Amino acid sequence: MEHTVALKQNHIFRRLYARGESAVGRFVVVYARRNGTRTSRLGITTGLKLGHAVDRNRARRRIRECYRLQEERLKPGYDIVVVARSAAVDGDFREMQRSFLHQCKKLRLLKEEQT
């Protein structure tokens, strides 16, 4: 991932949940907030309701790939947390990509020439 680093600090996750903007879709919920730097930070959350570790890891891999494929279209300088929903485990990947892109558009995360 070109201009993105992993988001791992719990207090930043909590701050995003409390103060960030959110967009809800069938596959994922996306939270975003400007972070004041030139790099973005991506955090992925998969709850126990999704199933066993195999299912949760699959959902994480799919979300990471959705982000990777759309990364050049996203503005840098944001903290982004993506929360997986049950459809993220085994739903259609192309539909998941479209949904992720739609959530990013709602949050105005896309670069201007892409909107």
Read off the pLDDT of residues 10-53 as tens digits, 9 standing for 90 and up. Answer: 999 999 999 999 999 999 999 999 998 999 999 999 999 999 99
List strands edge to edge, sheet with 4-6: 4-6, 40-45, 78-84, 28-34, 21-24
pLDDT in tens, 47-100: 999 999 999 999 999 999 999 999 999 999 999 999 999 999 999 999 999 999
CATH number for the 4-109 domain, one of 3.40.50.970, 3.40.50.880, 3.30.230.10, 3.10.20.310? 3.30.230.10
Beta bridge partners of 4: 40
Asked if 79 contacts 35 with a C-beta cutoff of 8 angstroms, the reply is yes
Model-level pTM?
0.91
